[in-house]
Structure 1
Amino acid sequence: MPLFRPHPHDVLLCVISVLAGLVLWSLGLYTTTFRDLLPAWAALVPLAVMGVVELFRRTAPQPALLIGTAALIADQLTVGNLATVFMFTDVMYAAVVYGHPAMARRLPIVTGVITVVATLLSVALLRTPESVLIGVVTGIVCFGPALTGASVRYHREAADAARLRAEQTALLAEMDRKAAIVAERARMARELHDMVANHLSAIAIHSTAALSIDSADTSREALGVIRENSVQGLSEMRRLIGLLRQAGAEQEPVAVPSLDGLAALLDQARATGAASGLEFVLEDTRPAGGEPLPAPVELAAYRIVQESVTNALKHAAPGPVRVLIGRSGALLTVRVDSPYGDRPGPRAPGSGAGLVGMRERTELLGGEFAAGPAEPVGAAGATGTVWQVRAVLPAEEKAVEA
């Protein structure tokens, strides 16, 4: 608010106070009757000055308080006007409420000290019981408004702080909600990609083969594989839709893929990759009868193998694709080695999202992921370079929850 544009409420307060002071003066109602050094009309000067000061109580509290204090002292040299004193108490209150923080902190202390000093001096000099009233009046005029203003300001600042905290809490909640939505969308995207990529890759490979090779037997075989993968892909899509629609615990739980389904997964991969010269071998070295894996780890391991097999069907050179599953204490190791090199025949396009999804699944569980060319390890008779996908996942429930 500009300095020379008073608040409408302050203008109204000024007009009412000055009019009340004029009425009191016209009726001869003065605060004192023994100060006759100046004529009675002299009391109107401090009243007018205090009225002007009242206009700027909110926009310029510090200058208003200084000028108002001078006007109050001048009023004490005249017959006095009660409206002038009341306007000063309001200016003192406004200085604490609207002034800068340092002034708001100091005024209650300063006015409190002035009240105590005025009481002690009046008692020491006058030595009458009525002298105590001087200190009481000083406290009412100075200390009381300052203390009231400090209390009002404190509650206003506390309310502003509470409102700010509420806004920040709402903002953080909105940010958490958006982050949760983004994370859920990413999870759904990974799940959708992992479920249908294998089937769509097989469809793409065999449809390309059927189009490029003019043979009735080849086309019939390719159409059979395409139909099988289409049906299975549709089933997987329906499972995902059922999972998304599941709203409460009263509904039937949807089955989640586990490592027990790797054999069926590789059987399907063998049928799809036979034409490309790919062989799929599963080596599960986990001890029999061991503790079950946490559901998130089980699903992540299955999806990593599924995506690795899908990538092998798309890009691997002819040869064996080895899937190795092992568990050592609190760690589950998943490794897929596929032949690395040029591949003849049709190839399905890749987007690169598979590696990103596998890495995200692993890191969300606090595991380690690596993918790239490597020398074959632990495979009898294996030679040459392989493309190795390796993930190490926590195999204990508490590790996953942490």
Structure 2
Amino acid sequence: MLTLATKPALALAYFAYFGVLGLFVPYFGLFLDGRGLSSAQIGLLLALVTATRIVGPALWGTLADKTARPLSIMRFGAIIAILAWCSSFVDAGFWPLLAGFALFSFFWTAILPQLEVCTFHALNDDAGAYSRIRTSGSVGYIILVLLGGYLFQRFGSEFMPATALLFLGLLLLSLFKLPPLPKLSASQQVHLSWRQLFKSKVLWLFMGAALMLQMSFAPYYGFFTLYCRDLGYSGTVTGLLIGVAVAAEIVAFYFAGRILGRFRLGHLLAACYGLTALRWLIVAYLGDQPLVLAASMLLHAGSFAIAHSGAMQFIQQFFPKAQRGRGQAFYAGIIYGGGGAIGAYIAGISWRDGAGASATFTLAALAAAIAMLLALSLPRTMPRADDKAANINTP
């Protein structure tokens, strides 16, 4: 039987997980459009599916922390997600499609937060090593984005169900190759009450900024491929544009550990969020210029890779080791779930079948600018989980 060392097994898990997202994120809107859904229905479906990520991560994170079995939680979630994904093979209208993807999304949320916890634990909280392993996820993403562009151009949007199912199977296989986590020592069993944690002004500033950033990404995740189609770009060109963004992301992830070690986290996050605002303005008003649009995709290095690495560093420092599963789940639920749902719903209303594209990306730029202002309010020194509880509320 094939066995893998810890780092290759983690890299394979990230590769497969984000490979699935490489199909789902850029081409899901086209898939729904191909099934005859209106932009309002697409926005509602994306919002409701994303909303399941608010409840899901908290449930799975609590179960993982209480049972100390994050691998079992991930494997169970992957199995049910695969079964739910099979509903995409049947074209039975809007409501069955909504139910199937809501179920898929709910169990999908059992995977990534616990994978992040397992990775940091296996790497002894080495942010640089994490970023290099996380790069394999970006590689999987870009491969599937480019492959998806080709498959879409040749076979249409119905290429998605079978292609995604193959990588869902690879993900499940990779999860069964991960080694179990050792039990925490007595010194690592320290808990802070959620009341203590939620009293922290630093936590609310960080989460508020991250929430606004995620809201700003909603038009990109839900409508960018449709936007490119309306501007006259082919499926292959659209795939290449997204590929430029992910290529920049890969390079940034590889060097993220060094970058995080050289700059103050609040200022670094603010710079990333400010560049994101600029990026959405370029997409809104210069999207018909291919070279300018391609150049704007390079800003994904800061918008996502460095911003995400910084967020992971904050969570690993802020939450005690025994509560990191729930800390990751809280971040995934509130930020990716709540921010994604709110952003998708607003984008679905403002998009107006493409007529409101520029206004929608302008709103996204405004949200990113607000995130930048919140990040600038973060303190010079971030609180750490091993500090006294009283110190966690430092403004």
Same fold (TM over 0.5): no
Give TM-score scaled by structure 1 length.
0.23
From the two aligned structures, give the one with the greater helix fraction: 2
Structure with higher Rg: it is 1
Highest relative contact order (Cα 8 Å, sep 6+), 1 or 2? 2
User: Which structure has the highest strand share of the two?
Assistant: 1
